[in-house]
Amino acid sequence: MGLVIEDDHDIRELVRVVLTQAGFEVRAASSGAEGVLAAKELDPAVITLDLGLPDIDGFEVARQIRQFSDAYIVMLTARAEELDTLIGLESGADDYLTKPFRPRELRARVAAMMRRPRSTPDLAEEAGSPSAAGNEGRKYTHNGLDLSYESRTVAVDGQELSLTRTEFDLLHALLEAGRMVRTKADLVRRLRDEPYDVGSYISEADERSVEVHMGNLRKKLGDSAQNPRWLQTVRGVGYRLAPAED
């Protein structure tokens, strides 16, 4: 199921066509309040969200949806400023596109996200994700943090955390790599479900979005950038797992 939250009729219909061609049953909402209600009722797998809605701005809509849904959220915005993009990602969006956008790019972004598993094993199996199959049953433990790939759960010192799919996938990538450094470009490709060395174009905005997601992940873990227990920043390069505690 795909949900389009957009007040502009022409763009709403364009996105509806793109998602329908991608194989989704699509519903649409023309306001923020209507969109939040639709997300609760429909439990969509992916949501496209306009930033400039007439009643509630897209930032607040994303925050409200994130309280009950782990759907992928792609924010569509006419604002090109980096600050708006960062606020959108911090509000819970997984990706963003600036209007006007190319329909093929939106479809490619959605397809890449849907190759990543959903939050439960059954849904991951339904998605038929190669990466999900390769990691089935994998569990990681490091400095009091436990991650189960199969159940898509994370706990710190026995306390389960609520992570977005993007945050979970970034954490899994670092645990999987151990002390090996993952560049920001590596992590962008991981989120796209591409091989690390595929050579696809990575923009500064793509890398900046990884920084924002990592910042959100660090906050949820209660980790310190200066004295990290799990997420160690390698300045100018990327991230790696912090050393094991004695």
Q: Are 110 and 138 in contact (CB under 8 A)?
A: no
Size (the chain), residues: 246
- Which tokens sit at 136? 């089935």
174-220 per-position pLDDT tens digit: 999 988 999 998 998 888 877 666 667 787 878 888 998 899 899 99
**Domain 121-241 is in which class?**
mainly alpha
Tell me which of 4-8, 31-35, 176-180 is least confident: 176-180
Query: Strand, helix or coil at 21?
Result: helix
Statement: 2-114 belongs to CATH 3.40.50.2300: yes
147-161 per-position pLDDT tens digit: 999 898 999 999 999
- Which tokens sit at 142? 């490091």
Greater pLDDT, 195 or 117: 195
- Domain boundaries along the sequence of the chain: 2-114, 121-241
Q: Mean per-residue pLDDT for 126-148? A: 67
Residue 75 burial (C-beta neighbours within 10 Å; 0-12, 13-18, 19+): buried
Greater pLDDT, 132 or 138: 138
Tell me which of 71-85, 120-134, 150-164, 213-227 is least confident: 120-134
Residue 82 burial (C-beta neighbours within 10 Å; 0-12, 13-18, 19+): exposed
